[in-house]
Chains A and B, each alone.
Chain A
Amino acid sequence: MNAPQKPELKKVINESGIEVKPLYTSADVEASGGMAMVGEPGAYPFTRGIHREMYRKQPWTMRQYAGFGNPADTNQRFKYLIANGQTGLNVAFDLPTQIGLDSDDPLAEGEIGRVGMSIDTLRDFEIAFDGIDLKKITVSLTINGAAAILIAMYLAMAEKRGYDIKELRGTAQNDILKEFIGRGTWIFPVEPSIRLVGDTIEYCAKEAPKYTPVSVCGYHIRESGATPAQEMAYAFCIAKAYADDAIKRGLPVDEFAGRLSYNFNIFGNIFEQVCKFRAGRSLWAKIMKEQYGAEKPGSMWLRMIAAGGGGGLTFEQPEVNIVRGAYYALISALSGTQTMALCSYDEAYTIPTEYSARLSLRTMQLLIAEMGLTETVDPLAGSFYVETMTNEMRAKMEEIMAEVDAQGGIVKMVAEGTIQAKVSAQAYGMQRKIDSGEFPKVGVNCYKNEQEEDHPVEFHPYNEDDARVQIESLTRIRAERDNTAVDAALARLRADAAAGTNVMPALMAAVKAYASVGEMTKELVSVFGRYQEPIKF
């Protein structure tokens, strides 16, 4: 009798384009490069983590993205999150603030306080952070186009409250190159935008050496359609562009590299994501050591927030996003991240309510309190599958970085729109696969609720009155401040921008004189011009 025919196993290729086998053995680890790049946690090449004891010593920082309405509304939400055990803040700004418009600008109408808090002057920062101990709670500012201005404002606010900015910790996103690829809050053309990032790196290296002036984001590139391997590879290309600018200014690598950080996404296949982080950690260490000659271990660390997961959440059956979020948090914990944040289950609809934000916080706290994720460093190490995939992901990232170099580098590709066109074509391909059911999404193309309506989501209310209050406050500040001092500060800002002098000291003086975000942006636009988006398909 013939043996029964074995059914043919379907070939599996992960999103990054690497084949996943049904079984891994030590032979696969060897064939992919062996254990040479694994090492020990806290030691080069840091595959297993940048610290030896990791979460045993200190669990990840929990930093939910939050902000809406006026600074006073946001101050209350901050205090609510801190009261519920959040250990850091991640500030959301409204779109006018993000692109350098004052609340009374006609283009800001209808957008004030909608997706984040509205900031016009230093006074708003004083209100937003009132009563919050900036030594205990570190603050991350999600600001890019207007980052130099908002960093100056944050440092000035801290100084005014008596903190020594030499000791002040905190982070600004300030990754403009990814804004041109996805997210879209650019203001100035590509070259002066990079120069402004360089100004913040240089200024902070000298004046606020514990502050992290840049958090390079693979996150939004992934949301725009990049694969996990591309997400990390493109982020490294971008970080290298900033590092090159800093080095051109004469900054030694070990004086700034330790203050660069990263922001990565956590949705998708669990093992592909975890291996992405392990691979990326060792690749970045290798780049900094071999290409930049870094000597301090801190300069080689891939410090990061592994967070969000928005791109994986669905509009359909929103409560299932609570469960997705829990798995994404697990990915984040297994990744060895320094900071964690989770998109809330209602974020496919709206900015989170207090209730949904707390639920996300509890999801992360659960991993610490009940699930044992902080007890042992890099618990997946040594798995034949994980070590093989880590090696293969690293090789894939190196291949992608070499392709970018061959095409003239990331800055050129972004300026010409070729990288945007590439990730957008991939996003289209993925949407077609979701529409056809080839790429399964629960509630979208399989396991749909056929019998009943989806559970409704409660909406965070938008208060139309916030705009009026914000504009009144700005009008009052303009009347009360010393406008001669403001004009002098703005003139100096324009002159420094034109002369190629670091603009941060001029910005510090301008924010302290209560110049507004819109006024400072206008001066910079008068020198730099505005970005023209290349539309390429």
Chain B
Amino acid sequence: MSNRPIKVLLGKPGLDGHDQGAKVVARAMMDAGFEVIYTGLRQTPEQIARIALEEDVDVISLSSMAGSHIPFCRKLKPLLEEAGLTDKLWVIGGNLPAQDHDALRELGFKGIFPSGSKLDAITDYIRSEVK
């Protein structure tokens, strides 16, 4: 393992404007010693994949609150695969109903943190998964 801090892309996918949670998680990640690239609102799948590749991140994380997580991740998955980012950790948080979790896992999102997750649970998970 290199000595550089864990580098995380935290993206706000789609048109959803609820960024309170994303910004709170970004701060928790910074306090955990991670380097965080927060994208701001309204990112397309193409933008997320491009930033993840260019910034050479260890973790690709999304915060989704307005219900369009499945259609978005369906578009994002092939782009991340094309960019050769399948060895990175994909994490998603936000308003994610339990019945969607299996579908998200199938789309490559290994870490799923629905509303109500503790901040330390998110950062501990990332630290344990990124080697």
- What is the interface of chain A, defined by CB distance below 8 A to chain B? 95-96, 98-99, 101, 107-111, 114-115, 179, 182-185, 223-225, 314-316, 348-350, 424-425, 427-428, 431-432, 435, 444, 459, 462, 533, 535, 537
| B interface residues, how many (CB within 8 angstroms) | 32
Cβ contact of B115, chosen from A114, A315, A435, A533, cutoff 8 A: A315
Residues of A within 8 A of B44 (CB): 107
Q: Which residue of B lies closest to A432 (CB)?
A: B119
Cross-interface CB contact of B20 among A101, A108, A110, A223, cutoff 8 Å: A223
The segment from B26-34, B50-58, B83-91, B101-109 that touches chain A is B26-34
Collect the chain B residues with CB atoms within 8 Å of residue A182's CB.
Answer: 17, 19-20
Please tell me if the beta carbons of A183 and B17 are within 8 angstroms of each other in the complex: yes
Given A183-B18, A184-B17, A431-B24, answer yes or no on A110-B66 (Cβ-Cβ < 8 Å).
Answer: no
**Given the interface contacts A316-B116, A424-B20, does A537 sit within 8 Å of B14 by beta carbon?**
no
Question: When the two chains form their complex, are residues B115 and A348 in contact, meaning their CB atoms are under 8 A apart?
Answer: yes
A111 contacts B17, CB within 8 Å?
no
Tell me how far the C-beta of B125 lies from the nearest C-beta in chain A, rounded to whole angstroms.
14
Q: Choose among A183, A184, A316, A459 the residue with the greatest number of B CB atoms under 10 Å from its CB.
A: A184
Q: Is the interface of B mostly helix, strand, loop or mixed?
A: loop
For B30, what are the chain A residues with a Cβ–Cβ distance below 8 Å? 537
A95: chain B residues at CB < 8 Å are 14-17, 66
Whole-angstrom distance between the alpha carbons of A95 and B26 in the complex?
24
In whole angstroms, how far apart are the Cα atoms of A123 and B47 in the complex? 34
Q: Which one, A99, A225, A315, contacts B114 given CB within 8 A?
A: A315
Contacts of A183 in B (CB 8 A): 17-18
Enumerate chain B residues within 8 angstroms of A101, measured Cβ to Cβ: 15
Would B27 and A184 count as touching, CB distance under 8 A? no
Cα–Cα distance between A376 and B119 once the two chains are bound (Å): 46
Q: B18, B24, B116: which contacts A428 (Cβ < 8 A)?
A: B24
**A111 x B27 contact (CB < 8 A):** no
Contacting pair A537 B17 (CB below 8 A): no
- State the Cβ distance, B63 to closest chain A Cβ, in Å: 12
Which B residues lie within 8 Å of A424 (CB)?
Answer: 20, 23-24, 27
The listed residue (A109, A225, A349, A431) touching B119 by CB distance below 8 A is: A431
Decide: A350 and B97 in contact? CB cutoff 8 A.
yes
The verdict on A428 contacting B23 (CB below 8 Å), with A315-B114, A349-B97 known, is yes
What 1/0 flags go to B110-124 for Cβ under 8 Å of A? Answer: 000011101110000
In-complex Cβ contact of A99 among B15, B28, B97 (8 A)? B15
Min Cβ gap B40→A in Å is 4
**Distance in Å: Cβ of A501 to nearest Cβ of chain B:** 30
Q: In whole angstroms, what is the CA distance A432 to B66 when docked? A: 24
Q: List 17 A-B contacts (CB under 8 A).
A: A99-B15, A99-B42, A110-B68, A182-B20, A183-B18, A184-B16, A184-B19, A184-B42, A185-B17, A315-B114, A316-B116, A348-B115, A350-B97, A427-B20, A444-B116, A535-B40, A537-B26
A115 interface neighbour in B19, B40, B67, B71, Cβ under 8 Å: B67
**Complex contact B20–A114 (CB within 8 A):** no
B116:A314 contact, CB within 8 angstroms: yes
State in angstroms the CA–CA spacing of A533 and B43 once bound together: 12
Q: How far is the CB of A231 from chain B (nearest CB, A)?
A: 14
Interchain residue pairs A-B with the least CB separation, the first 7: A184-B17, A110-B71, A95-B15, A315-B116, A424-B23, A428-B27, A533-B40
Determine the chain A residues whose CB is within 8 A of the CB of B66 once the complex forms: 95, 111, 114-115
Interface string of B2-27 (1 = CB under 8 A from A): 00000000000011111110011011
Cα A424 to Cα B40 in complex, Å, equals: 13
Bound form: Cα–Cα A108–B66 in Å: 13
Q: Name the A residues within 8 Å of B15 (CB-CB).
A: 95-96, 98-99, 101, 107-108, 111
A435 to B24, Cβ gap below 8 A?
no
Give bound CA distance, A444 to B118, whole Å: 10
- The yes or no answer to B79 lying at the interface (CB within 8 A) is no
- Which residue of chain A lies nearest to B22 when distances are taken between CB atoms in the complex? A424
> Distance in Å from the Cβ of A111 to the closest Cβ of chain B?
5
Nearest Cβ on chain A to B50's Cβ, whole angstroms: 16
Give Cα distance in the complex from A99 to B116, angstroms: 28
In the bound complex, how far is the Cα of B27 from the Cα of A537, in angstroms? Answer: 8
Distance in Å: Cβ of A227 to nearest Cβ of chain B: 14
Which A residues are CB-close (under 8 A) to B42?
99, 184
Known: A110-B71, A427-B24. A533 touches B41 (CB 8 A): yes
User: CA of A425 to CA of B40 in the docked complex: distance in angstroms?
Assistant: 16
Nearest Cβ in chain A — how far from B48, in angstroms?
14
Q: What residues of chain A lie closer than 8 Å to B118, measured between beta carbons?
A: 435
Inter-chain CA distance A251–B19, complex, in Å, is 36
Contacts of B20 in A (CB 8 A): 182, 223-225, 424, 427
